[in-house]
Structure 1
Amino acid sequence: MSQNILLVDDEAGIIHAIRRMLRSESFNIFEANSGDEALAILERHDIHLMISDYKMPGMNGLTLCHKSRAISPTTYRLLLSGQVDYAQLRQASQDGDVHRFVAKPWDNLLLTMDIKEGLKQHQLLARMHLLSQELQGNQPTLLTDSNWIVRLANAPMCRALNCSESELLGVNLFATTLSDMPVTMETEVTRQVEDGKTWLGHFTLNAPDQSRHQSWMAIAPLGEQYRMCSCQWVSEDREPLRDIQDELDRYSGDHHLSRLQHAAGLSSREPQLMMVSVRSDGLDSKDMAAICYERLQAATDDLYEIYSPKPETFLILLPATVSEEQTERLSQNIQQDFTDPVTYQGQSMVLQPDISVEQKPGYVENWEDWLRLRLGLSGNSKPKEKLSVTTSSEDSSAEVSSRFRVMPVFNQAGSVIALAAPSEALPVNSNWKDWLADVCRHWHKEFSQPLHVIMNATEHRHETVREFSQAIADCETPVRCTVVLGEDCILSQDDKDIRWQAELRARQCELLIANFGRSYINSRQILSLPIQGVCLAPEFLTHMRNSKSLPQSRRLLQRIHDHGMKIYAPNMDTTESLASAHQSNVDWLSGSVLSTPVSCDQLTWFSASGEIG
């Protein structure tokens, strides 16, 4: 079905410029020179997306967006202007009247991306009106009560979050265990649905296994007692790419220890390794190894970490809590799953797995060193500082397990060059000075370069960020600090926000703007702001995988680089995004595909790659 776009502007030249930009796309384009003309078209035609200028004679763009919502609630509304009251704009966005704002002069790449994303979100809005009558189907959906407590989760949602429905029931939608959304969003969403309107916006869901899922969420009221929450994943409909494995290879070796440690848990008992060797001619192919890996995942129900140091060898980490009976059952499941022949390069063959279970030998002091040995990695470069569960000195005891967590931040070469402050609250009876002191102690033990810390201020309260920056200023050792600020704060003309930015700069903090690619301002405006770089929105790198937009995306980011600005991609949760980041020379990268958050004492895992060449 053709997609209908309505262009509204009193300047014919603007409409012509957008038409020319979209000439390679198969859209049906309607035109209106005023708000009244636009409303008439919306009444007669099914408009999927509307692009309206803000400043027009008579009815302005904000009023048009407000009125058009009543006539055509599923139309995606994009406001375009060179001058607008940002306070009014933020209010219209919070009210749900405006879905997206793009400043003039626009960047063709970003505007095209916004249009295509808006058309997808139109589909989501349209589905929500149908889903108001039923919860069945393939759309990941939650049903909550008026207090946002999950009362129902359909099968597609449970599959996407890799959990059972019982794990979601009774959880508040805005609790940190289920979502990473600011407190203010709950208030705005509640207000809209209580007014009988459908809310649409970006939403990050957290799965029970701590993985994060970026989505567009539409929330509609179902009477006075219930709300329907339906989402569309940002990463949906991606093409598999040949370079994914190559990108993952950059982060093999020591970085897998983080995942293995997490899977093993914090039990004082030592984990086991199940080794599976598959005998078959031609198994040196990565494609064949991938087939074996998939069968092992099916046999283990994705319950355990699997690592393959060689194409024919697979290591399954079994936590200490796994019983002998469970181990035997797992072995039988693997044997059963390999009984069916595999067709590879036109040949049918039966793969024969040899299975054994290994435990740490007594002559190896530390189980992490044993894991390194089995993974084909070098031993710990600092054996005198190995973790130990038996120690007498108070100072050594602190090395066993740090209370504080950090997120490693990598450069293009795969080296750890910075640490991101955790988004969750600090442990009880601790503060940012305690956190920084512990981080400094472990960092300087493992790395020679000065410590660099990054805090995303959009994830914390204002008072928390001030305490953090004060701890940086009071630190006895030099610490480089980068703070990611929201667009509202960067663009605000409020004296309080201006003073806050000045305070951060006085404390030698570098400033980045959050969610570039989703923000209101374009790349030209970015270059004129008093900031040192940009923090990419999670969906930006996903869009870049489109072959048509990739060259333009690279030029856009290169222009930012040419002005001496840094580019930070903090949500590397998919291999596709990681590949895009490398192709576009993103400076700093972090996310679960590289490493989950680690405790400070676990920084030793990255020390071999932590020196900057």
Structure 2
Amino acid sequence: MQRNVLVVDDEAGIIQAIRRMLRAEPFHIHEASSGDEALAILQRHDIELMITDYKMPGMDGLTLCQKARDLSPATYRLLLSGQVDYSALRSAWQQGDVHRFVAKPWDNLLLSMDIKEGLKQHDLLKNLQQVSRAIHTEQAMLLTDANWIVRMASPLLCEALQCEESDLLGVNLFAHALSSMPVTLETDVTRQVEQQQTWLGYFNLTGPQQLNLPAWMAITPLGSQYRLCSCNFVASDQSPQRDLKDELQRYSGEHHLQRLQKAAGDARSEPQLMVVALPEEVSHKDLSSICYERLQAATDDLYEIYSPQPHTFLILLPASVSAEQIERLSQNIQQDFNESVSFQGQPLLLQPQISIEQKPANITHWDDWLRHRLGLPATSQKEQPHSTAAAPVSGHQHASSQYRALPVFDQQGTLSALQAPQANTYDESGWSAWFNAIGSVWQQYFERELHIIMPAVNQPAASVRGFIRALGEARQHLPLECSIILGEDCILSQEETDLNWRDELRSQQCRLFIANFGRSFLNSRQILSLPIQGVSLAPEFLIHMRNSKSLPQSRRLLQRIHDHELTIYAPGMDNTEALASAHQSNVDWLSGSVLSRELSADQLQWFSPSAELG
């Protein structure tokens, strides 16, 4: 399908350069050399995306975007800027006049990504206009009142959040129970909606299950009392578990344990395990994967399957499965394996040995039994905290299990760092207790230095300072490295308070990272000129890299960052596409739900080199 794109610039060479960049795409390119000419084209044609220069004679790009918003609200507006006035650009974004900024000279890869993403968001805006006229759609959406309290949730959204609509009703859209967006965003969105405008931006949904679902959200007013929130998820694959067998085995069995725990928890009474043991020559992972797929077919993919060893498979059978069903399932497996398996050019006949196991009476907790069968160390909730853990400071008398961190891995699956909760989670004494709990476990199970990552984007400076002071105190008895992830507004600001703040962080030996590379309007040349030590990638950047055309260029872009000795961190690995891209691009650090959920301090031992990962 041909898409209509309008390019506006008083320099013909810029328009031709963009034409060349997009020559392989199914786009019809409209050209304009001034704002007035662009508005005339917008009146005559259904323009889906507009790229305009900022500095032009007569009407500048910001004014053009403002007028285009009224004339063609569904047109995605992308502004090119050679002379960056960050405060003006940010104000335009906050007002909703501009959807995206791209600095000149641009990277072809990033600009093409922005254009393709912009066309998707045009579709979202256009769809939202239709929804406003007739509120009936298959789009994932919420309806809130004027106070952002959820009054309705679509089935598609509830399915993505793994909850019932009743779980969302009465919850504030910006509350931690539904999303993980900064408090400051609520003000910007409210301002636009109260002006009867549509807000469009990045939004991270969590829901009752505390998932991590990045999405593009469009929010429009419905009268004075209601707001309609419609979203497109950044990742189309919301159920990636079945594609993770080989990838996740590089980290731990923890993800599989969570799946089995959930399946066991859904049962009203005790489930059972069907153990399928194949000959020990099934030791090659490729052969094991072939057998895994054959088991999935034999079970009609109805049950959770895990392989603690390549030749052993565990099938979780809910208590509701009858003896007759178990017998039929056993027969189906035997019958499927009566046919030889072709491996490395040779037919292999594998005869499985099938048995049924139940939780022994001397084991109280399901978690302990499942962990034992999965080859993981037991960590029953009734265990006492490690006696070696340092006592928290006064006023915070919690066990170490109350203090949590997100594991961060390197390319080899080794636990390399921990991402701290957001800065406003604790006050200074709370952070001191957090460092004591986390540091004690780390020193007990890991020989290398502890590296902490603090996501400080849109966090109050006072909260981050409380964290930094606790960090300085902890360094007196614990070897520590710390990386602080800051937003581009904080990194680029030349205001005295921001300059002093960055100097203060450096004086505390903190490494500075810039957030959301791939979504910010800075190009790679500007990134490399900044006084930073690393970049944190936007989640959608890695998904775009899966495109075969852009993958080589993406690798070269990240390689330039590596060559300048900057660390590349990819948080939010919540789908298989992004995880594969991260590995192909040699990202330094990775974190996210496909690798590990956030863990308590005493659970960090699961990733100790001495732990048995099965």
TM-score range, shorter chain: 0.7 to 0.9
- Matched residue, 1:498: 499
1:584 aligns with 2:567: no
- Matched residue, 1:552: 553
8 Å CA contact 1:143, 1:152 repeated in 2: yes
User: 1:484 & 1:277 partners in 2: Cα distance?
Assistant: 46
Shift of 1:115: 0.5
User: 2:92 & 2:338 partners in 1: Cα distance?
Assistant: 59
User: 1:561 & 1:334 partners in 2: Cα distance?
Assistant: 55
Shift of 1:293: 4.6
Gaps of 5+ in 2: 341-350, 392-397
8 Å CA contact 2:298, 2:336 repeated in 1: no
- Matched residue, 2:25: 25
- Matched residue, 1:87: 87
8 Å CA contact 1:535, 1:569 repeated in 2: yes
8 Å CA contact 2:7, 2:52 repeated in 1: yes
- Matched residue, 1:286: 289
- Matched residue, 1:211: 211
8 Å CA contact 1:255, 1:605 repeated in 2: no
Shift of 1:312: 7.5
Residue identity in the other structure for 1:150: V
The residue correspondences of 1:124-523 to structure 2 (distance < 5 A) are 124-236=124-236, 245-253=245-253, 256=256, 274-277=272-275, 286-287=289-290, 289-290=292-293, 292-293=295-296, 299=302, 307-309=306-308, 314-315=313-314, 327-330=318-321, 335=326, 338=329, 356-360=356-360, 362=362, 371-376=370-375, 389=382, 402-423=401-422, 426=425, 431-458=430-457, 460-475=459-474, 476=476, 477-523=478-524
8 Å CA contact 2:457, 2:487 repeated in 1: yes
- Matched residue, 1:572: 573
Shift of 1:587: 0.3
What's the % identity of the aligned pairs?
A: 57
8 Å CA contact 2:511, 2:532 repeated in 1: yes
- Matched residue, 2:4: 4
User: 2:369 & 2:242 partners in 1: Cα distance?
Assistant: 33
1:596 aligns with 2:597: yes
User: 1:447 & 1:235 partners in 2: Cα distance?
Assistant: 34
- SS of the residue 2:489 aligns to: helix
- Matched residue, 2:395: none
Shift of 1:212: 1.0
- SS of the residue 2:402 aligns to: coil
Shift of 1:430: 5.3
User: 2:237 & 2:389 partners in 1: Cα distance?
Assistant: 50
8 Å CA contact 1:557, 1:584 repeated in 2: yes
Q: Residues 260-302 of structure 1, C-alpha deviation per residue, up to 9 Å, x if partnerless?
A: 779889xxxxx977312459999966355246458879756xx
User: 1:5 & 1:388 partners in 2: Cα distance?
Assistant: 58
User: 1:393 & 1:599 partners in 2: Cα distance?
Assistant: 12
- Matched residue, 1:35: 35
Distance change in 2, residues 1:17/1:502 (3 Å): same
Shift of 1:73: 0.4
- Matched residue, 1:535: 536
User: 1:237 & 1:56 partners in 2: Cα distance?
Assistant: 42
Residue identity in the other structure for 2:320: R
Q: TM-score, normalised by structure 2?
A: 0.86
User: 2:390 & 2:239 partners in 1: Cα distance?
Assistant: 49
Q: Residues 22-68 of structure 1, C-alpha deviation per residue, up to 9 Å, x if partnerless?
A: 11112100111111110111011110100000000011101100010
Residue identity in the other structure for 1:420: Q
User: 2:260 & 2:61 partners in 1: Cα distance?
Assistant: 53
User: 2:427 & 2:468 partners in 1: Cα distance?
Assistant: 20
- SS of the residue 1:66 aligns to: helix
User: 1:494 & 1:501 partners in 2: Cα distance?
Assistant: 11
Q: TM-score, normalised by structure 1?
A: 0.86
Shift of 1:462: 1.7
Distance change in 2, residues 1:258/1:236 (3 Å): closer
- SS of the residue 1:144 aligns to: strand
Distance change in 2, residues 1:578/1:510 (3 Å): same
Shift of 1:356: 3.4
- Matched residue, 1:321: none
Shift of 1:309: 2.4
Q: Residues 327-386 of structure 1, C-alpha deviation per residue, up to 9 Å, x if partnerless?
A: 5314579649959979989989xx999673432574x89987754542246x68xxxxx8
Distance change in 2, residues 1:87/1:230 (3 Å): same
8 Å CA contact 1:416, 1:609 repeated in 2: no
- Matched residue, 1:77: 77
Shift of 1:118: 0.4
Distance change in 2, residues 1:295/1:185 (3 Å): farther
Shift of 1:207: 2.8
Out of 408-417 and 201-210, give the one that drifted further: 201-210
Aligned pairs, how many? 586
8 Å CA contact 2:277, 2:312 repeated in 1: no
Distance change in 2, residues 1:529/1:296 (3 Å): farther
Residue identity in the other structure for 1:286: S
Q: Residues 297-340 of structure 1, C-alpha deviation per residue, up to 9 Å, x if partnerless?
A: 9756xxxx75332578554679xxxxxxxx53145796499599
Distance change in 2, residues 1:35/1:294 (3 Å): farther
